[in-house]
Every structure is written in C-alpha cells, then in structure tokens.
Amino acid sequence: MPVWISIKMSDFRAVFPDFVARSLRLLNRSPRFAFWLACVVMAIPTALTLAGMVQPAAIAVVNPVDIMLRDPGRISLVLLLIALAIAPLRQLSVELATSFDCRYGKRMSDWNWLLRLRRPVGVASFIHAVAHLAIYIVFDLDLRMQEFTLDLRDKPFVAVGTASFLMLLPLALTSTDGWMRRMGPYWKRLHWLIYPAAVLAALHFILLAKPGVQQPLVFAVLLALLLGHRMAGRRRQTRGVQEQDDGTFPERTIVTPRPRGLQAKASHMIHTPTTKS
Ligand code: HEM
C-alpha cells in the first residue's frame, strides 16, 4: 500500500492545521508575498477572458467586442464585492477560529494579510473598469466622444456607470502608502466612496440587463448584505476597537471569544494586547 494511504486521519489532523497555520503566518510575515500571490490569482480570470476571446469558436458565435466589453465590467464588479467582503471575512475567520479553538487565527492581527489584500483587489477592480471604459470608447463608439455625451444623456446605465467610475478614480489614485500617510484620517473618509461606487456599479448592471435576467439582482443582494454588515460593524467599532488606517490591527491584538447570552451584544469584540506569539 502506498505510504500516503496508510496515513491515519489523526496524523492528518495533527499535520493539517499546523500546515495551514504556518502558511497563514508566512502570509502575515511577508506582505509582499501575499500581494504577488493575490496579483497572480486575480490575473487568472483576465487571462481566461483574453484566451476565450481569441478562440475561433467564440469569435464565430459572439461578437468579440461584446465579450471584451462585458467581461472586464463583470470582473470589475466581482472584485469590488470581494474588496468589500474582506473585512466581514476576517471577522468570520476570527469567530470560527475562536469557536473551534484553532491553533491560529483567534487574533484580529492574525488576519492582517487578508486586510492588506483589500487595496490590491480594489485597484484591480479599477484597472478592469478602465479597460471596460476604454473598450467602450475605442471599439463601441469608434472614439466619437460626442456619442459618449449623447449616451450619457440618453442611456441612464451609461450615466450611472460613469458616476461609479468617477468615484473609483480618486480611490485608485490615493491607494498608495504615501497618499495614505499624507491624508491621515481623511484617507479613510475618502475611501468610504467605495460603498456608493459599488451601489452605482450594481445599479448600472441592473439598468442595462434585459428583463428577466437575474444575475444583476444576485449582485445587488450580495451588496446589500455587505452594506448591512458594514453598518452593524461600524456601530460595534465605535465601542473602542482601534483599527489602524489600512484596516489592520496592531500585532498581537486578540479578540476575546464572543460571550454567550444577553451580555454578548454589549461586550463583543474587546481587544486586548497580549505578548503571546
Ligand atoms: C465609465 C463608465 C462606464 C461605461 C460608459 C460603461 C458602459 C457599459 C456598456 C456600454 C455596457 C454593455 C451594455 C450592453 O450590453 O448593452 C456595460 C456593461 C457592464 N458594465 Fe459598464 N460601464 C461603465 C462603468 C462600469 C463600472 C465602473 C462597472 C463595475 C464596477 C461596470 C460594470 C458593468 C457590468 C457588470 C456590465 C454587464 C456585463 C454583462 O452584460 O455581462 N461598468 N457597461
């Protein structure tokens, strides 16, 4: 029998969490590695779209300009939602790690790597929005900018998409560490624009979809859930939880497990610095 089949389940349990913990610790220790890993993962859908566009079968069936226009729009919206989902995902991870008494992940700072991905994901969303707009102007409008002005007036989905794009623009321009330092507390305030930008992007999709197409509504529901969670989270945060400007927590900040019963709501997420590694 091969060696790997003879490994017992208990061995697997002993090795697996340790392997996961080591990998996550590595991600936390080397933000650059986490950044490049995210870039590679995010490049995959774009590469697949580009590969799909040059397939003769695809060209025969669908107008490649349609695919070129729509796919970056979709990828941009999905990445925007992922950027918004990162903070709730961190909170969920901490709560799961605490509930299952995992070896790693009970402290907010254990998930700093996840929070650090928010900016690259947001920037990638913007890059796809730029590609989407460029393809629209170059291939759909043949660079006739007066047609763009007419579309802005006559097609509400174009006006709404443009408003969303204009909100994403300052976020992408100020996404560097330098701008974050220079702007101080205003950086966080400005980056709240991601919420209306996402709402407008979802509305853009709803307005342009043909009647009976459900996908834009799925995006809208997901977005509503994320916004609801964010608003609840904001109320919790005002009770003394101190995030750093980029959303990460100081190293070794822990979250006490959620207490049971009626006290749970009041005392949830108290952060205490600890020297445990
Ligand atoms: C500068 C502003 C924008 C313009 C002029 C624009 C224009 C367009 C056009 C012409 C279409 C194709 C409509 C059709 O199929 O008839 C489209 C589709 C789409 N756009 Fe935009 N857009 C803009 C910004 C955005 C942004 C910022 C996002 C997302 C963050 C976005 C996401 C989408 C999505 C998801 C679709 C639908 C793709 C599909 O049908 O599968 N757009 N847009």
Nearest CA to ligand 1 atom 31: 73
Residue range 8-24: average pLDDT? Answer: 69
What percent of the chain stands above pLDDT 70? 74
Residue range 104-115: average pLDDT? Answer: 88
Cα dihedral sign, 231-114-198-77: negative
Token pair belonging to 166: 């204009």
Mutate to test the pocket of ligand 1, among 70, 82, 84 (most ligand atoms within 8 A of CB): 70
56 vs 92: CA distance, rounded Å: 44
pLDDT of residue 232: 81
Quickly state the pLDDT bin for 198 (edges 50, 70, 90).
very high
pLDDT of residue 61: 64
* Rounded distance from Cα 48 to ligand 1 centre (Å): 19
Q: Is 272 left (phi over 0), alpha (psi -120 to 50) or beta?
A: beta
* Rounded distance from Cα 276 to ligand 1 centre (Å): 49
Q: Which residues pair with residue 255 across a beta bridge?
A: 271
Ligand 1 neighbour 161 (Cβ under 6 A) = yes
Task: Note the pLDDT tens digit of each residue in 23-67.
Answer: 888 888 888 888 898 898 888 888 887 777 666 666 666 677 887
Task: Note the pLDDT tens digit of each residue in 145-197.
Answer: 999 999 999 999 999 999 999 999 999 999 999 999 999 989 999 999 999 99
211 vs 221: CA distance, rounded Å: 17
* Rounded distance from Cα 168 to ligand 1 centre (Å): 14
Nearest CA to ligand 1 atom 22: 161
Q: Are 219 and 202 in contact (CB under 8 A)?
A: yes
Q: Are 259 and 113 in contact (CB under 8 A)?
A: no
Nearest CA to ligand 1 atom 24: 161
Residue range 214-223: average pLDDT? Answer: 96
Q: What φ, ψ does residue 273 adopt, rounded to 5°?
A: -70, 145
